[in-house]
Amino acid sequence: MPRSSRSLVLVVTGALLAGATPVLAVERPSADDSVQNLMEARASALATGRIKARIAEADAELIRLGAEAQWAMERHNGERVLLARARTAAKDARARARRADTAYRAARKEYSGYAAGAYTSSAASAGRLAMVISGTGGARGMLERAGMLQMVSAQQDGLRRRVKAARKVSHLLRAAARKADALQSEAVALVARTRRDAIAAIGAQEAAAVRVGAVRKHLVRRLDHVRSRAERLAERRTAALRVRTARRLDRDAVRHFEEEDGLSARGAGRGRTVVREALKWIGTPYSWGGGTAKGPSKGIAHGAKIRGFDCSGLALYAWAKAGIGLDHWTGSQWAAGPRVPTSMLRPGDLVFFAKNTKDPDTIHHVGIFIGDGRMVEAPYTGAKVRISSMWRNGFIGAVRPG
């Protein structure tokens, strides 16, 4: 029998012989047990760390694909805006070319009919001109004849120059119209291509959400298995606290805004109108291409059957209620006003997010600042208009339209 076991037996036996209630001695763990426990704890921590790293990788992949899909959708939105402009420009160019052709034909008609008109403009002037040209009237007639011929020649030269200028203008404007039509055709092709790209990006995002989501669930189950019960309970309490805190911040942000807005009959300017209008639509579905100056609308492709907003559609709507017209495109919304430092943000300012924070051409998302580092946004396909933190990866800057 090991020494520790013999000691324990002696203690219990002695207590029984003395008629006392036996008290079991607590056996100290051996050095080998301590080392074993430490190794198991380290192994558990290492396994936990690896699983958490893989979960973080899965989350990062979903975020990356979401940004790719948003960027593709906003690029398509931009090409639609540019196509509308190209169509307007082509229509205007064709109208100008038609007016120039009409002016050219009128000038030619006037020039070709000038000589006949000069001789038949009236009976008196016709007789006088015939007399001058026929050579009668002596010296005086000669002078009149020279003057009359000079006048006719000058008028003909003037008409000839007008015809030449009208022809040149007509040719130039017809060329401009052809160029505008070509640009419109290019815009149509780009819209079709970016639409296909966006649909493919959304499809990749949705497929990844299913694939990566399944992997993530498996990893979360493994993580629960390797963590201790205390760790699991602590994590759940932390997650629940995080949710309650986010909800409280949302309520506080809305209440604070409403209280501040009620201090003045006119509010504090256009920005408060923008925020008030945006907050009306919390919980509205995300719809790619959805949102007009009048409110939520059905979108395009994946949003064709969903009445709602996408990110730039929500910004367009809210600022329209404040009297400012914006395009349905984050690219032109980024250029719709001056840049605003984060220290000077006011409710209603637009906050933008990009794949590359040094390149505005990669902007893919916009939200509406409401105060306290929070914003209203239409986040992504499958989600709803919500309040969230503006402090996230990809923040590139803010703009105050107007």
Residue 250 lies in a domain: no
Q: How far, in Å, are 149, 150, 151, 156 from residue 143 at the CA level?
A: 10, 11, 12, 20
Q: Which residues pair with 376 in a beta bridge?
A: 368, 387
Residue 8 lies in a domain: no
Q: Are residues 205 and 278 in the same domain?
A: no
Burial letters 154-185, b for 16+ CB under 10 A, else e: eeeeebeebbeebbebbeebbebbeebbebbe
Q: Are residues 46 and 177 in the same domain?
A: yes
List pLDDT tens digits, range 73-109. 999 999 999 999 999 999 999 999 999 999 888 888 8
pLDDT value at residue 62: 84
pLDDT value at residue 342: 92
Provide the CATH number for the domain around residue 280.
3.90.1720.10
- 310: containing domain: 265-399
- Mean pLDDT by 10-residue block, N- to C-terminus, for the chain (402 residues)? 45 43 51 59 71 84 88 94 94 93 86 62 50 55 61 72 87 93 94 94 87 82 68 66 64 56 50 94 96 96 94 97 96 94 93 94 96 93 92 94 90
Q: Per the structure, how many domains does the chain have?
A: 2
CA–CA gap between residue 182 and residue 180 (Å, rounded): 5
Kindly report the pTM of this predicted structure: 0.68
Residue 221 identity (one-letter amino acid): R
Q: Which residues are catalytic?
A: 311, 365, 377
Comparing CA positions, the residue from 72, 182, 11, 337 lying closest to residue 64 is: 72
Q: Are residues 341 and 213 in the same domain?
A: no
